[in-house]
Amino acid sequence: MDPFLAALAAVSDPFTLCAIVAGSVIGIIFGSVPGLTFSMALALVLPLTFRFETSAAVGMLLGTYIGGMTGGSVSAILLGIPGTPSAAATALDGYKMTRSGRAGLALGGAVFASGFGGIFSLVIMIASVDFVARLAIKFGPVEIFALVIFGLSTICGLAEKSLVRGLIAGVIGLLLMTIGLDEVDGVARMTFGWTPLLQGVNLLVAMVGLFAVPHVIRTLVDYRDQRSFQLHSSDIRSELPSFGQLKQNVWLLCRCSALGTGIGSIPGTGGPIAAFLAYDHAKRFSKDKSKFGKGSLEGVLAPESANNAVTGGAMIPLLSLGIPGDPATAIILGDF
Amino acid sequence: MVFGAGLWCWGVVVSIPSTGDEARLGARGFPMAMGLLLGALGIVLVLQALVRPSSVPEMGSLKGEFRTVACTVGLLVGYAVLLEYTGFLIATIVTVAVAVGPVLGIWRWLLITGMSGGLGFGIYLILGKLLGVYLPSGKIVNLAL
């Protein structure tokens, strides 16, 4: 109990609290702008923390990390363009909610689910850091491959009208990811001698393009057909889900947060897999599956709780074994 | 889709060197397998279309859709080329001006100037100056961003 109280006293310091708030704001800004990542925000914030006390420095970095993960949902919900790859699943229903005039509820739900997922994963982290770290470290290439295949199986759940088209989209994604330097043999694949392609297709850039370009085309078609959709500032009110909605979804939030914590604790995995698995899980176990993809609140709560739970999960191997699970935790490790 | 898969497989054979050892999968293995899978899925799609032909949309609406897609792709390609030669600031201002004027057909000069200049300089100041994010500079015009 003593370390807990000591940590609480350190965090209660006004400067530490300010550092956490500043880090969260920076993270949310970077996360909400498509193209800017929270890893980039962490890299920019890191030099600032060198002069801080340890608790303030770690607080600011963690605030940036968690804020960035949450910020990705802002543009995913309001524009249909995920700010981070982890928010891609949120865009599926979040943007539909915005188009149906429920942007405030979608944002409020995303913030609540993010907070719930983050706190849930931190509690799990504190309670079971040794056990989960030992379990996670046993995940070798075979287990991670199986997990990725499991993640890809969500295509079956997401491809509603045509499974073949869903599979084609998945295969095209896999094809694009093979472009660049082969990690095993070090051979250039499909670069045709063009040096910039050696680093492959950047996931975030591809995701922004895949979500933004169809959005631009849809907006132009709507404008041409005089069906332009305009989001007024009055449409966006801060609105948290009602007690009834939360009570209805609390078990879903717990399951998705546990899923995100588990996936986050495995080095080499991350938010996008957790978010899509959670979305698929929520859809599969929903009483009304037809609402998904048309603006379902569950479709926002599930991925947001999972992708934020990844942050706590990713801290498990970092704190117990010193192994960063993703680029963001590797930057945080630099401050320890 | 089948043609695209064939093109991909041809690209794999041409651009990725073989390991020479047939027992090893090598760098070609995964892209080739995915290319073949894409071709197979394409054939399934063709067969599905033959068995259950879907209704064909009207030519008029398709023409409009194609024009919109062509405009968007043209703008993106133009922006990428301009970025390479003129850098971020000029490329962004010109592309936004073209998007508002010729593409959307809004010929209000104040709006075109304000929108393109405001967006270009706004992003330049926030990202380039305030946050220190690297913005591309051009090969011909280099504004030392």
pTM: 0.71
Q: Is the sign of the CA dihedral A134, A329, A172, A184 positive or negative?
A: negative
In this predicted model, what pLDDT tens digit does every residue of B11-64 receive, in sequence order?
888 888 877 666 667 788 889 999 999 999 999 988 888 887 766 666 666 677
Quick one: pLDDT band at residue B123, thresholds 50, 70, 90?
Answer: confident
**Is residue B145 over pLDDT 60?**
no
Res A66: pLDDT: 85
Contact B27 A191 (CB under 8 A): no
The token duo for A226 is: 């005089």
Check: CB of residue A327 under 8 Å from CB of residue A203.
no
pLDDT on residue A245 = 82
| pLDDT number for residue B103 | 82
Contact B16 A187 (CB under 8 A): yes
Measure B39 CA to nearest chain A CA, in Å.
9
Predicted-complex ipTM score:
0.75
Radius of gyration of chain B (CA): 23
Flag if A220 and B103 touch (Cβ within 8 Å).
yes
pLDDT of residue B43: 92
Instruction: Output the average pLDDT for chain B.
Output: 83
Q: Is A38 helix (H, G, I), strand (E, B) or coil?
A: helix
Q: Is pLDDT at B139 greater than 90 in this prediction?
A: no
Give the pLDDT of residue B129.
Answer: 81
d(CA B36, CA A146): 22
Those of residues 139-198 in A touching chain B at CB distance below 8 A are 162, 164-165, 167-168, 171-172, 174-175, 178, 182, 184-185, 187-192
pLDDT at residue A228, as a whole number: 57
Burial degree of B55 (CB within 10 A; 0-12, 13-18, 19+): exposed
Residues B31, A175: C-beta atoms closer than 8 Å: yes
Burial (0-12, 13-18, 19+ Cβ within 10 Å), A199: exposed
The predicted structure's pLDDT at residue B7 = 92
Residues of A in contact with B48 (CB under 8 A): 162, 164
* HSE, side-chain direction, 13 A CA sphere, residue A303: 36
The low-confidence residues of chain A, meaning pLDDT below 50, are: none
Give helix then strand counts, H and E, for chain A. 14, 2
Q: Quote the minimal CA–CA distance from A100 to chain B in Å.
A: 24
**Predicted pLDDT of residue B16:** 85
Query: A181 - beta bridge partners?
Result: A188
Using CA atoms, how far apart are residues A123 and A103, in angstroms rounded to an integer? 30
